[in-house]
């Protein structure tokens, strides 16, 4: 059993997660894309190509950039007026108080941005970002992302929440995190208390495979539920991890059973070196179509693509209506039904 986060290729080698032949290439790769596998995830990995190992163990193919892959696939940088702020939609804004995570996903679209060297916003940068939000009255929702906001200190998180509470035009706070699943031991009672807000505060948790639903993760989620915080989920459709009907069904059912409403199933953002995870959109739509009728509507996520270039998300879900035959629809088995 591991009790430490793995951060170097030599630590990965000691755990037999990589081979001697891969050390040199992966050491070079780690200078660009950070490595971190939390103890909880280390202990879940049974083989390097199992659904947990694939998500976190670096691979030499990450050094290969395909022509359709972009360094900033959703144009975060182009839409960032000041450090810590991304303003893509008029009524909401992304606040990134840090670019550090307890684990680094090998498919992440911010892989070249996140890592221990990027750290926190300075105190002044954070105040500037919060002031920027206050100065833009059209903003109603603030989304804390990063990095992972759940590894902020309770003091810093409490300061952010309390400041947003004082901004009258902000009505909703949303926090995106992997911590409850990937590093549940980091969720202390003091941190939960720091989330207290007068605004509508939602937490969006990220998990991609049923194996991530451990007893420790359950206790972490339970603390959020007991605090009265509504929970949503987001997952990424990933090749050889969750791109089959049975796995997706189990994943979505687990969310609902844990009082987490499935929210987004993301089409992979094409960041450099992520081609090994790519699932074609047609297959994604077929998977969603196959799930219709197999799972309750409570478990149904919106399958979305973030259009490259910063144009926002669009739904990709299966279409059951054909305008050429306006008096009929397709049922989940693609049979025509009259309406």
Catalytic residue among 101, 158, 253, 270: 101
**101 annotated ligand binder:** yes
Q: What is the CATH number of domain 70-338?
A: 3.20.20.70
pLDDT in tens, the chain (339 residues): 778 999 999 999 999 999 999 999 999 999 999 999 999 999 999 999 999 999 999 999 999 999 888 777 776 778 889 999 999 999 999 999 999 999 999 999 887 777 776 688 999 999 999 999 999 999 999 999 989 999 999 999 999 999 999 999 999 999 999 999 999 999 999 999 999 999 999 999 999 999 999 999 999 999 999 999 999 999 999 999 999 999 999 999 999 999 999 999 999 999 899 999 999 999 999 999 999 889 999 999 999 998 877 777 888 877 766 667 766 666 666 676 666
In this structure, the strands spanning 141-144 and 313-315 are unpaired
CA distances (Å), origin 284, targets 247, 274, 278: 13, 17, 10
313: annotated active-site residue:
yes
**Sign of the alpha-carbon torsion through 249, 69, 106, 101:** negative
Place of tokens 């915080």: 229
Taking only the tens place, the pLDDT of each residue in 138-173 is 999 999 998 999 999 999 999 999 999 999 999 999
pTM score:
0.93
Cross-strand partners of 175: 144, 203
Two structure tokens written together for 251:
């994943």
What is the torsion angle, in degrees rounded to the nearest 10, for the CA atoms of residue 93, residue 98, residue 103 and residue 106? 60
Cross-strand partners of 321: 329
* Nearest residue to 158 (alpha-carbon basis) of 123, 193, 126: 193
Q: What is the pLDDT of residue 76?
A: 75
Catalytic residue among 105, 111, 158, 303: 105
174: annotated active-site residue:
no
**105 annotated ligand binder:** yes
Burial of 68 (0-12, 13-18, 19+ CB in 10 A): exposed
Catalytic residue among 110, 211, 253, 270: 110
Q: Where are the domains of the chain?
A: 1-63, 70-338
282: annotated active-site residue:
no
Cβ atoms of residues 199 and 232 within 8 Å: no
Catalytic residue among 92, 261, 283, 292: 92
Two structure tokens written together for 107:
């498919």
Q: What is the pLDDT of residue 235?
A: 98
88: annotated active-site residue:
yes
261: annotated active-site residue:
no
Catalytic residue among 108, 174, 264, 270: 108
Q: What is the pLDDT of residue 339?
A: 65
89: annotated active-site residue:
yes
Catalytic residue among 33, 96, 269, 270: 269
Q: HEC string of the chain?
A: CCCCCECCHHHHHHCCCCCHHHHHHHHHHCCCCCCCECHHHHHHCCCCCCCCHHHHCCCHHHHCCCCCCCCCCCCCCCCCCCCCEEEEECCEEEECCECCCCCCCCCCCCCCCCCCCCCECCHHHHHHHHHHHHCCCCCCEEEECCCCHHHCCHHHHHHHHHHHHCCCCCCEEEEEECHHHHCHHHCCHHHHHHCCCCCEEEEEEECCCHHHCCHHHHHHHHHHHHCCCCEEEEEECCCCCCCCHHHHHHHHHHHHHCCCEEEEEECCCCCCCCHHHCCCHHHHHHHHHHHECCECHHHCCEEEEECCCCCCEEECCCCCECCCCCCEEECCCCCEEEC
108: annotated active-site residue:
yes
Catalytic residue among 33, 56, 72, 88: 88
Two structure tokens written together for 59:
């691979």
219-230: b (≥16 Cβ within 10 Å) or e:
ebbebbeeeebe
């Amino acid at each position: 059993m591991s009790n430490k986060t793995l951060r170097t290729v030599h630590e990965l080698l000691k755990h037999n997660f990589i081979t001697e032949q891969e050390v040199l290439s992966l050491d070079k790769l780690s200078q660009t894309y950070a490595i971190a596998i939390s103890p909880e995830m280390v202990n879940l990995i049974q083989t390097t190509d199992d659904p947990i190992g694939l998500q976190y163990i670096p691979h030499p193919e990450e050094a290969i950039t395909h022509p359709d892959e972009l360094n900033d696939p959703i144009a975060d940088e182009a839409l960032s007026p000041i450090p810590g702020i991304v303003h893509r939609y008029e009524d909401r804004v992304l606040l990134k108080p840090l670019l550090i995570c307890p684990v680094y996903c090998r498919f992440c679209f911010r892989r070249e941005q996140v890592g221990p060297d990027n750290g926190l916003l300075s105190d002044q940068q954070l105040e500037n970002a919060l002031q920027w939000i206050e100065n833009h009255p059209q903003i109603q929702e603030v989304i804390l992302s990063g990095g992972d906001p759940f590894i902020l200190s309770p003091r810093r998180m409490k300061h952010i929440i309390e400041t947003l509470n004082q901004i009258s035009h902000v009505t909703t706070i949303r926090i995106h995190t992997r911590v409850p699943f990937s590093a549940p031991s980091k969720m202390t009672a003091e941190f939960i208390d720091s989330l207290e807000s007068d605004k509508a505060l939602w937490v969006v948790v990220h998990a991609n495979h049923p194996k991530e639903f451990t007893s420790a993760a359950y206790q972490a989620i339970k603390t959020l539920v007991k605090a009265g915080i509504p929970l949503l989920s987001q997952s990424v459709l990933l090749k050889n991890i969750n791109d089959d009907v049975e796995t997706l069904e189990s994943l979505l059912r687990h969310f609902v059973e844990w009082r987490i409403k499935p929210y987004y199933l993301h089409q992979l953002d094409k960041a450099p070196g992520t081609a090994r995870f790519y699932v074609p959109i047609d297959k994604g739509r077929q998977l969603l179509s196959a799930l219709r009728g197999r799972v309750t509507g409570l478990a149904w996520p919106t399958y979305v693509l973030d259009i490259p270039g910063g144009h926002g998300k669009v739904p990709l879900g299966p279409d059951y209506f054909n305008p050429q035959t306006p008096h009929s629809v397709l049922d989940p088995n693609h049979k025509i039904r009259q309406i």
